């Protein structure tokens, strides 16, 4: 039968699968058909593993017929090309890893697989997750489903475009400085960045190890809650994975905000913000107040230092992490080298794109002798102050409401030659990564040109239950306007 997937959520798909309205093979085939139809324009995927996906879907149908109870049994998911899935490519959208096939599953993937998920293929991204537009991919330019000549955001732009553009029910992404929340806002889907340590990073190709976190792009907050339940939990393979209980998030969502106290950070409503973004976010704040929330003003006084702090720490860690890509063990190896040092240089020069090289150079500089204390050590001290700002704010409220980005999506190429302007666009998202807290982007409106705008809800460390509850109540209130 023909399966309509345009607005189908994971939750709805599971209900229909369990009711026998369609099979996993029919659902997976419908998504593959949508990719074939739409992806020549969207360019959200780097590769699609059609045979493997349909074979796994057929297994899921057999398991369901035999009484299988997997929480995601037979649901097809897309995966950002930075997470290892056994037997699939993991190029990180870089020429340097062209042809590399992963020999193992990331822990998050293994947990999804154990609950019956089907893995469709690999979504496009900024190379090694370094960028905010997906323009830094070595292979193609993903386009925004809302307007094809606009960027989808980044670095998880392919995942966001696939979900918002009808090519996936949900997708995995990663968030180092906003790389889930910002593309979710630009494309008009839900993007969840969990607390650092909530989901194991084992099997995630590292950009900045103290900032990276795996999360999801979905069509509803309930779907985000479900995927978080499945992927979360302690993992001995990741020393930064925290051993704390995992609530049944999808069962604890709320429909109103009575008794909830929400903070409005004054530093996040800045001069120069796009008026349409501010209007949409302030309307969302008013709606939360109508749902029963008490809204209070709070201050995060060190926000002005966040971009500089982030781009020192992130580039320093990138410099160390990407040193492993040298042409010796895996990936591309340059030809014609005369000795190992020459091979390293030629391989990295040919394999890395401009933005990756820029960040490696910056990171090497701030870690170098004579500059370490002035830059890297100072940034770590500022990071502590930024974290303290949030801890103090959360003494006064349950969650914070902010914009995701100062602007909606912009045209492809508009900021490609001005990296500093692109970096400044992360001002509202990098703070959550520096502080290690959780955040979610929920669609809250659109500009007059139809470009989506997201509301960012930030919560304390391991406070996902709070932000999911606020996000769900807000989302459900919008459905009443349909």
Which residues are the active-site residues? Answer: 80, 155, 179
Helix (H) or strand (E) holding 295: strand 294-298
Token pair for 13: 């798909």
- Please list the alpha-helical segments (H only) found in 274-396: 275-290, 306-321, 340-351, 354-366, 378-393
DSSP 394-411: TTT-SEEEEES-SS---B
Are the C-beta atoms of 312 and 281 separated by less than 8 Å? no
C-alpha 467/C-alpha 471 separation (Å) is 6
What are the helix (H) ranges across 73-149? 107-114
384, 385, 227, 400: which is closest to 298 by C-alpha? Answer: 400
What is the CB-side half-sphere exposure of residue 405 using CA atoms within 13 A? 32
Question: Can you tell me the distance from the alpha carbon of 155 to that of 127, in angstroms, rounded to the nearest whole number?
Answer: 8
Which residues does 357 contact at the CB level (< 8 Å), separation at least 6?
A: 348
What is the residue whose two structure tokens read 């040092």? 341
Q: Return the structure tokens found at 31.
A: 């998504």
Residues 455 and 198: their CA atoms lie apart, in Å, by: 22
Q: In what order do the strands lie in the sheet with 261-265?
A: 45-48, 118-123, 76-80, 170-174, 214-218, 190-193, 438-446, 452-459, 399-403, 261-265, 294-298
85 vs 204: CA distance, rounded Å: 10
For residue 22, give the nearest of 99, 75, 77, 90 by alpha carbon: 75
Helix (H) or strand (E) segment spanning residue 172: strand 170-174
Q: What distance in Å separates the CA atoms of residue 146 and residue 330, rounded to the nearest whole number?
A: 38
The Cα-based distances of 128 to 110, 305, 326, 411, 453 in angstroms read: 22, 25, 15, 22, 26
C-alpha dist (Å) from residue 162 to 13, 188, 303, 343: 17, 11, 32, 37
For 262-273, letters b (16+ CB in 10 Å) and e give bbbbebbbeeeb
């Amino acid at each position: 039968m023909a399966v309509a997937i345009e607005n189908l959520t994971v939750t709805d798909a599971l209900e229909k699968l369990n009711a026998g309205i369609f099979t996993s093979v029919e659902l997976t085939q419908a998504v593959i058909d949508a990719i074939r139809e739409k992806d020549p324009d969207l360019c959200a995927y780097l590769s699609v593993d059609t045979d493997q996906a349909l074979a796994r879907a057929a297994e899921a149908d057999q398991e369901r017929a035999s009484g299988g109870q997997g929480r995601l049994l037979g649901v097809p998911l897309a995966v950002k090309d930075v997470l290892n899935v056994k037997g699939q490519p993991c190029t990180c959208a870089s020429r340097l890893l062209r042809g590399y096939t992963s020999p193992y599953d990331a822990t998050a993937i293994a947990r999804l697989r154990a609950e019956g998920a089907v893995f469709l293929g690999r979504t496009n991204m900024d190379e090694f997750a370094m960028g905010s537009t997906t323009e830094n991919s070595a292979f193609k330019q993903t386009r925004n489903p809302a307007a094809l000549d606009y960027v989808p955001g980044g670095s998880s732009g392919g995942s966001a475009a696939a979900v918002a553009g009808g090519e996936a029910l949900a997708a995995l992404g990663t968030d180092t400085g906003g790389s889930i929340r910002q593309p979710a806002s630009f494309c008009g889907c839900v993007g969840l960045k969990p607390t650092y340590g909530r989901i194991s990073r084992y099997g995630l190709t590292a950009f900045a190890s103290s900032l990276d976190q795996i999360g999801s792009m979905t069509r509803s907050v309930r779907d985000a809650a479900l995927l978080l339940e499945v992927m979360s939990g302690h993992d001995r393979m990741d020393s930064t994975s925290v051993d704390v209980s995992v609530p049944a998030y999808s069962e604890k969502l709320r429909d109103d905000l009575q008794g909830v106290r929400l903070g409005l950070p004054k530093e996040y409503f800045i001069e120069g913000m796009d008026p349409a973004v501010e209007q949409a976010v302030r309307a969302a704040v008013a709606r939360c107040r109508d749902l029963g929330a008490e809204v209070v003003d709070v201050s995060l006084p060190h926000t002005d230092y966040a971009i500089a702090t982030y781009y020192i720490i992130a580039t320093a860690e990138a410099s160390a992490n990407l040193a492993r890509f040298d042409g010796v063990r895996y990936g591309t190896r340059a030809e014609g080298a005369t000795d190992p040092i020459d091979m390293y240089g030629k391989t990295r020069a040919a394999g890395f794109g401009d933005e990756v090289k820029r960040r490696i150079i910056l990171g090497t500089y701030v870690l170098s002798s004579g500059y370490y204390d002035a830059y890297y050590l100072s940034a770590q001290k500022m990071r502590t102050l930024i974290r303290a700002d949030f801890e103090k704010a959360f003494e006064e409220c349950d969650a914070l409401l902010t914009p995701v980005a100062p602007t909606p999506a912009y045209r492809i190429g508009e900021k490609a030659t001005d990296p500093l302007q692109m970096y400044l666009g992360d001002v509202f998202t990098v703070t959550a990564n520096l502080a290690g807290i959780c955040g979610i982007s929920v669609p809250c409106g659109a500009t007059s040109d139809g470009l989506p705008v997201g509301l960012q809800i930030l919560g304390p460390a391991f406070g996902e239950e709070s932000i999911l509850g606020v996000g769900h109540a807000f989302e459900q209130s919008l459905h009443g306007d349909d």
